[in-house]
Chain A
Amino acid sequence: MIRKDQFQSSSKENVWLWLTKIITGLSIVIFLAIHFIVNHLIAPEGLLSYADILAYYSYPIVPVMEAGFLVLVVSHSFLGIRSIILDLNPAAKVMRVINGLLIALGSAAILYGLWLLIVLVGRSTNL
């Protein structure tokens, strides 16, 4: 009934991972409030044209905030998906593969988002 690895504590798997999920989650609530307000309430029609977006990115705080938001959202989302998968009780070996996949996909998503940000900032400074 009890798997051998059930109680093997691992430095990778304890309070810190859970705290990361909670802290990123709470930070997203704050960021999202700003994001929603800017995109849907303050901007009259939202940021609904390419020119609007470039103008938005010309404020130096915006790319920094959006980069932070990107890292928080991707981290929280992938940690959350991992915890749902964990509830499906995969074998330790399978979980290791899933961990690797999630880290790779999450990192790729963050790098892709950052590249996109750099492209936009570059174009907005050339306006």
Chain B
Amino acid sequence: MNNNDPSSHHFLRWFDPRHKSIGTIAFIINRFSALGLTVYLILHLVVLSKLASGGQAYDEFLILAKSPVIKIGEMFVIAGGIIHGANGVRIALNSFGFLVKIQKELFIGLMILSLAIIFYFGVHMFSGAQN
């Protein structure tokens, strides 16, 4: 790949953090979480169609949903949502003129906060599952 012009073929390089600053990490995280959450949204809407099929169909589905694999998947969705939301708050704040000069620190702070919230959710969900 020697073509140096801007090209949509280079899109995989969006996700290459080598030689880049922390802003690119934020960009990569935002893009991955956006795509993941959109896939989840579609799956979520499809799964909810079980609700229309009545109580028995939905409750049968929920037995499956209590499996650890689904719970871990759910944890990923929660983490993705929190991180994407925190990153979005950074972009909105910056775009309206707030904290642009400390955007790196803002990103790091929001990610630490996100991890703390994710940890709390994780403990709550998985300790609940054991009971």
Write the residues of chain A forming the contact surface with B, with a CB cutoff of 8 angstroms. Answer: 22, 25-26, 28-29, 32, 36, 40-41, 44-45, 48-51, 53, 73-74, 77, 80-81, 84, 87-90, 109, 112-113, 116, 119-120
Q: Contact mask B28-51 → A, CB, 8 Å, 1/0?
A: 000100110110011001001101
Q: How far is the CA of A81 from the CA of B37 in the complex (A)?
A: 11
User: In the complex, are the beta carbons of B88 and A25 less than 8 A apart?
Assistant: yes
Q: Is the interface of A mostly helix, strand, loop or mixed?
A: helix
Chain A residues positioned under 8 Å from B91 (CB to CB): 22
User: In the complex, are the beta carbons of B41 and A32 less than 8 A apart?
Assistant: no
Q: Is the interface of B mostly helix, strand, loop or mixed?
A: helix
Q: How far is the CA of A113 from the CA of B85 in the complex (A)?
A: 22
Give which listed residue, A22, A28, A29, A50, contacts B58 with CB less than 8 A.
A50
User: In the complex, are the beta carbons of B55 and A50 less than 8 A apart?
Assistant: yes
Chain A residues positioned under 8 Å from B54 (CB to CB): 50
User: In the complex, are the beta carbons of A26 and B92 less than 8 A apart?
Assistant: yes
Chain A residues positioned under 8 Å from B48 (CB to CB): 113, 116
Write the residues of chain B forming the contact surface with A, with a CB cutoff of 8 angstroms. Answer: 6-8, 11, 31, 34-35, 37-38, 41-42, 45, 48-49, 51-52, 54-56, 58-59, 62, 65-66, 78, 81, 85, 88-89, 91-92, 95, 121, 124-125, 128
User: In the complex, are the beta carbons of A77 and B41 less than 8 A apart?
Assistant: yes
User: In the complex, are the beta carbons of A109 and B45 less than 8 A apart?
Assistant: yes
Chain A residues positioned under 8 Å from B45 (CB to CB): 109, 112-113
Q: How far is the CA of A89 from the CA of B14 in the complex (A)?
A: 14
Task: For A90, give the chain B residue with the smallest CB separation.
Answer: B8
User: In the complex, are the beta carbons of A119 and B121 less than 8 A apart?
Assistant: no
User: In the complex, are the beta carbons of A116 and B51 less than 8 A apart?
Assistant: yes
Chain A residues positioned under 8 Å from B31 (CB to CB): 84
**Sample of 17 more A-B contacts, CB < 8 Å, known A22-B95, A26-B92:** A22-B88, A29-B85, A48-B62, A49-B59, A49-B62, A50-B54, A50-B58, A51-B55, A80-B38, A84-B31, A84-B35, A87-B11, A88-B8, A88-B11, A89-B6, A90-B8, A116-B52
